[in-house]
Every structure is written in C-alpha cells, then in structure tokens.
C-alpha cells in the first residue's frame, strides 16, 4: 500500500506500532480517536517510521529467509534420522557427522525388517533432499546480489571473521541502508542486543537483552560471534574474501577481530557463561558491521 500511495504522489510513512505513544489511562478506543491521535502525534514528530525496502531489497530478503527456513528444516530431518538410528542402537563412531565418511557409514546400514529398512531409507532420502534444497537456495542467493545497490556493502562485510557471503547477504537484506542509523548504538538497539534496564534513582539494574527489532539479523550476528572464541588471525578463506577490498576496510576488520577475540577471551576468563559471552561479542560485532558498511557506502558514493 505504501508503494502504491507513493507512486501516486502521496507522502506515506509506515509507523512502528511498538513505538507509538500510548496513554495508559485511555480506555476508549475507536477508529476516529485513533486517527486523531495519530494525526496529532505525527504533527508533533512523535511517530517512528520504519524503513521501507524497495522491491529488489524485499526479494533478496525473501530469498535469504527461504534459505534460513531450509536450513532449519534440514536440521529437523537430520535430527529425525539420528533419533531413528539411536532407537535401533546404531551409533556413528566418527568425530564429524554429515560428511563423506558419515555418508559412507549410512550407506552400510541395513535392517532385517523390510519395514524398518524402508523407514530408514525415507529418513535418509529426506536428509539428501534437504541438503540439495539448501544448496540450490544458497547458489540462488549468491547469484541474486549481482548489480544490487548494496552489493559493495555485502562484499565489504565479508572482510569480518565469521561473516561469509550468506551471512553478509542476510545481514544487509535484513538491516538495509546502514546510514539510517546515526550511531552504532542505534543499530545495536534495533537488533535487540542491548541489555534491558530497570533503574531508579541511584539504583541501576540491567537484565537480559531486549530482543526487540529484527530477530533474523540478530541470530546471524550471534552465530558469527562464535568465531571469535579463537585467537585473531587471517586464514586462507578470510584472506580470499578480503581480496579487492580497500585498505581502510581491511584495517577496520582487523581491528575488529583483535578487539572481539580479546573481548571473548576476557569475558570467558571471568567465568561468564558461554552464551552470554557470545551475545556480548555479537553486540560489539554490530558496531564493526556498521563501521564497515558505512565506509563501503561512502566509497560507492565517491565513485
């Protein structure tokens, strides 16, 4: 509707319902009252509009979320197969599952009952189909960004450790134009990575993260943050991703890796639970995503 109204020359904004002012004592709600309240809030500048992606942005976001759903489905069918095998006391002795060695082990499994063998085959075929679906969507997602207005930002974000192509595309598709955040703390708040707070007077009380905003991007950052449990280094894959990027972007990425790896080590040394450490690192990682993304957008504007 916003696109249709804008195309006809009307000024139209989509307002975030969660940030619309509400009067706690108001018990009468009608369309007329709501319309009047919204008009008054709009005139006072008290309404918060949301970012509207264009059709290409939305299409890439849909494809990214479709791949995420496919990955979740693959995890589910893999667990179903593992559960079936455990019920029949079939235990894989290798260190890593879902690799070529594991596939060879699965191919050697046979059952006396024809019904049991059929059930096993169906479970395994479901896993294979899920793998193929993820591979198709991954290939389509990587091909979809050719010529996209945010392609330079996607390329630049891959300078960060733990942020390969799929993660970078997902982050940019979910967050959109990083310039709408005037400070990295705004991005951290948008992603729901800041701690909740209930303070009064001299008493300061902070709780778990707010988890407001975009959950898809938040999950991607938390997954990427696990990579900083290792010492800072530029491995082969990361070095390949950084080829062709400016020295300024590579410098920001290296500073980020040094900071986040040391932060992870320091928090772990204090005995903080691993998941909390990872979320804290993800919050700071969002700041480096903002810095690199903004620099990439400035580089594009200068060309």
| 287 and 156 belong to one structural domain | yes
| 292 and 179 belong to one structural domain | yes
The DSSP H or E segment spanning 208 is strand 206-209
Q: Which whole number is the average pLDDT over 205-224?
A: 88
| 190 and 291 belong to one structural domain | yes
Q: How many domains does the chain have?
A: 3
On whether the CB atoms of residues 221 and 289 are closer than 8 A, the answer is: yes
| 92 and 160 belong to one structural domain | no
Of 90, 95, 83, 129, nearest to 107 by C-alpha is 90
The DSSP H or E segment spanning 219 is helix 215-225
**Which of these three, 114, 129, 144, is where a domain ends?**
144
Reading phi first (left if > 0) and then psi (alpha if -120 to 50, else beta), residue 40 is in alpha
Q: Name the residue range of residue 191's domain.
A: 151-198+206-302
| 94 and 32 belong to one structural domain | no
50 is a domain residue: no
| 123 and 259 belong to one structural domain | no
49 is a domain residue: no
| 162 and 252 belong to one structural domain | yes
Interatomic CA distance for residues 175 and 190, integer angstroms? 9
Per-residue model confidence (pLDDT) at position 289: 98
| 165 and 290 belong to one structural domain | yes
Per-residue model confidence (pLDDT) at position 120: 98
What global pTM score does this model have? Answer: 0.88
| 236 and 295 belong to one structural domain | yes
| pLDDT per residue as tens digits for the range 143-189 | 999 999 999 999 999 999 999 999 999 999 999 999 999 999 999 99
| pLDDT per residue as tens digits for the range 236-263 | 999 999 999 999 999 999 999 999 999 9
* Range with the poorest average pLDDT among 116-125, 181-190, 203-212, 220-229: 203-212
């Amino acid at each position: 509707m916003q696109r249709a109204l804008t195309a006809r020359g009307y000024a139209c904004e989509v307002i975030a319902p969660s940030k619309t002012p509400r009067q706690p004592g108001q018990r009468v709600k009608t369309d007329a009252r709501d319309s009047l309240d919204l008009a008054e809030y709009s005139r006072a500048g008290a309404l918060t509009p949301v970012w509207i992606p264009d059709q290409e942005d939305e299409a890439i976001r849909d494809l990214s979320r479709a791949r995420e759903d496919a990955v979740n489905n693959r995890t589910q069918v893999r667990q179903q197969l593992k559960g079936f095998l455990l019920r029949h006391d079939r235990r894989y002795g290798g260190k890593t599952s879902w690799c070529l060695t594991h596939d060879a082990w699965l191919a050697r499994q046979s059952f006396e009952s024809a019904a049991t063998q059929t059930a096993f085959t169906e479970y395994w075929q479901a896993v294979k189909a899920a793998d193929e679906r993820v591979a198709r969507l991954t290939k389509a997602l990587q091909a979809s960004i050719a010529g996209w207005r945010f392609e330079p930002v996607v390329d630049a974000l891959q300078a960060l450790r733990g942020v390969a192509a799929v993660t970078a595309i997902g982050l940019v598709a979910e967050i959109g134009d990083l310039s709408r955040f005037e400070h990295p703390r705004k991005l951290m708040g948008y992603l729901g990575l800041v701690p909740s707070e209930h303070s009064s007077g001299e008493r300061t009380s902070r709780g778990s993260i707010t988890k407001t905003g975009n959950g898809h991007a938040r999950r991607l950052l938390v997954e990427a943050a696990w990579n900083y449990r290792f010492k800072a280094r530029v491995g082969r894959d990361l070095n390949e991703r950084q080829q062709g990027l400016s020295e300024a972007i590579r410098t920001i990425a290296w500073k980020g890796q040094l900071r986040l790896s040391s932060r992870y080590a320091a928090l772990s040394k204090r005995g903080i639970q691993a998941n909390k450490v990872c979320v804290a690192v993800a919050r700071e990682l969002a700041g480096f995503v903002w810095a690199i993304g903004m620099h990439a957008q400035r580089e594009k504007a200068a060309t």
